[in-house]
């Protein structure tokens, strides 16, 4: 269901420092990185008002690290691994339902925010002359280079006024953002719904932020810096192996089965995606062809299941998700 953007001046212009920010971290078997992520949240110049950690049925000590960390997180231990997409659906819903968030700051467990990361996002929010739906951070690798996996898409056709408004807040207009570090307007999520849990991994953030920014405004804030501590520095052309299935299925779901993008954007993003797949298949000598075909067939056969169904083994999480999705008319 498509909703027009809110025009609430109170929400648009409320002082950023007074906003209730809830950080949501999704973790799976990364106990050391999770500890560093939570250390970084505790060390923020402007700390989040609450932290939610979704433990995706980790088999290492990640759950215990989250439970015992001094940041005092609200930790949800899921019974099975529902991937980053399911974890973010559950975590964002919990932030809205149980912590009454005004803004939700989402990140993976290998995201290490610099001390000023959240403050810089809120400073930009306060400086913006227009209402914002999404703000994204600059993600760098461990050596300080911009991480190619997490570059937000600049909004096509941005007007001079749009660019000027974004520049006043210290940023640039964006069309989608990565969940490595994004600040989401809770009011918009309540109106437009949660990410699809059934994506499992990849493109859940592309579709969800695309949905929030179809009619909303978003900016990339370079002053807000986080480290994305992936094992290797790489881009989308790295060999994803069996995960290529999710890349193909989910991108087709996002572009063909949602209204998150305009027809023109679907053609453009679809063309770029297909070209990227072709380059990847050639580069890896067709090793990914069978995996990609399975993803294609899965996308054609059905769309994503309701997120509450994906999370049905975890009743409390499913109930939170169902509450938000029903209110959004989804």
Question: Where do the structural domains in the chain lie, given as residue ranges?
Answer: 9-234+305-327
pLDDT digits (tens, 9 = 90+) for 262-321: 999 999 999 999 999 998 888 877 778 999 999 999 999 999 999 999 999 999 999 999
Q: How far apart are CA 295 and CA 288, in angstroms?
A: 11
- What confidence score (pLDDT) does residue 211 get? 98
pLDDT over 70 for what percent of the chain? 93
Least confident of 4-18, 205-219, 311-325: 4-18
Write the secondary structure of the chain as one string of H (helix), E (strand) and C (coil).
CCCCCCCCHHHHHCCHHHCCEEEEEEECCCHHHHHHHHHHHHCCCCCCCEEEEEECCCCCCHHHHHHHCCCCCEEEECCCCCHHHHHHHHHHHHHHHCCCCCEEEEEECCEEECCCHHHHHHHHHHHCCCCCCEEEEEEECCCCCECHHHCCCECCCCCHHHHHHHHHCCCEEECCCCCCCEEEEHHHHHHHCCCCHHHCCCCHHHHHHHHHCCCCCEEEEEEEEEEECCCCCCCCCCCCHHHHHHHHHHHHHHHHCCCCCCHHHHHHHHHHHHHHHHHHHHHCCCCCHHHHHHHHHHHHHCCCCCHHHHCCCCHHHHHHHHHHHHHCCC
Q: What mean pLDDT is reported for the chain?
A: 93
- What confidence score (pLDDT) does residue 1 get? 47
pLDDT exceeds 50 at position 26: yes
Backbone angles phi, psi at 105, to 5 degrees: -100, 105
pLDDT exceeds 90 at position 326: yes
Is the domain defined by 9-234+305-327 classed in CATH 3.90.550.60?
yes
Cα radius of gyration rounded to whole Å, the chain: 19
- What confidence score (pLDDT) does residue 238 get? 67
- What confidence score (pLDDT) does residue 286 get? 72
Q: When comparing pLDDT for 235 and 308, which is higher?
A: 308
pLDDT exceeds 80 at position 123: yes
Work out the average pLDDT over 175-188.
97
Q: How far apart are CA 110 and CA 168, in angstroms?
A: 31
- What confidence score (pLDDT) does residue 281 get? 87
Q: How far apart are CA 248 and CA 307, in angstroms?
A: 20
Work out the average pLDDT over 23-44.
98
pLDDT exceeds 50 at position 79: yes
Q: Residue 231: which pLDDT band, with cuts at 50, 70 and 90?
A: confident
- What confidence score (pLDDT) does residue 132 get? 98
Work out the average pLDDT over 228-235.
82
């Amino acid at each position: 269901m498509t909703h027009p953007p809110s025009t609430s001046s109170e929400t648009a212009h409320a002082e950023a420092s007074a906003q209730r920010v809830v950080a949501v971290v999704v973790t799976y078997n990364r106990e050391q990185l999770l500890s560093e992520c939570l250390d970084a949240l505790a060390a923020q110049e402007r700390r989040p008002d609450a932290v939610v950690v979704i433990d995706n049925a980790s088999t290492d000590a990640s759950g215990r690290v989250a439970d015992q960390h001094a940041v005092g997180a609200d930790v949800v231990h899921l019974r099975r691994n529902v991937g980053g997409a399911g974890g973010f659906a559950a975590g964002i819903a919990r932030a809205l339902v149980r912590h009454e968030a005004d803004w939700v700051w989402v990140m993976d467990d290998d995201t290490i925010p610099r001390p000023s990361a959240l403050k810089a996002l809120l400073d930009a929010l306060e400086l913006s002359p227009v209402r914002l739906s999404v703000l994204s951070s600059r993600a760098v690798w461990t050596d300080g280079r911009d991480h190619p996996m997490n570059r937000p898409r600049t909004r096509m056709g941005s007007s001079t006024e749009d660019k000027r408004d974004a520049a006043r807040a210290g940023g640039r207009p964006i069309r989608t953002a990565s969940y490595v570090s994004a600040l989401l307007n809770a009011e918009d999520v309540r109106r437009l719904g949660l990410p699809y849990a059934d994506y499992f991994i990849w493109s859940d953030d592309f579709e969800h932020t695309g949905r929030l920014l179809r009619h909303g405004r978003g900016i990339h804030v370079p002053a807000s810096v986080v480290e994305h501590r992936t094992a290797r520095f790489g881009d989308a052309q790295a060999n994803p192996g069996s995960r290529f299935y999710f890349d193909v299925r989910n991108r087709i779901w996002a572009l063909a089965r949602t209204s998150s993008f305009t027809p023109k954007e679907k053609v453009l993003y679809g063309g770029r995606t297909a070209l990227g797949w072709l380059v990847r298949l050639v580069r890896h000598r067709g090793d990914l062809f069978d995996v990609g075909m399975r993803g294609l067939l899965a996308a054609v056969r059905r769309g994503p299941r309701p997120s509450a169904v994906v999370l049905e083994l975890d009743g409390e999480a499913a109930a939170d998700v169902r509450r938000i999705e029903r209110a959004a008319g989804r």
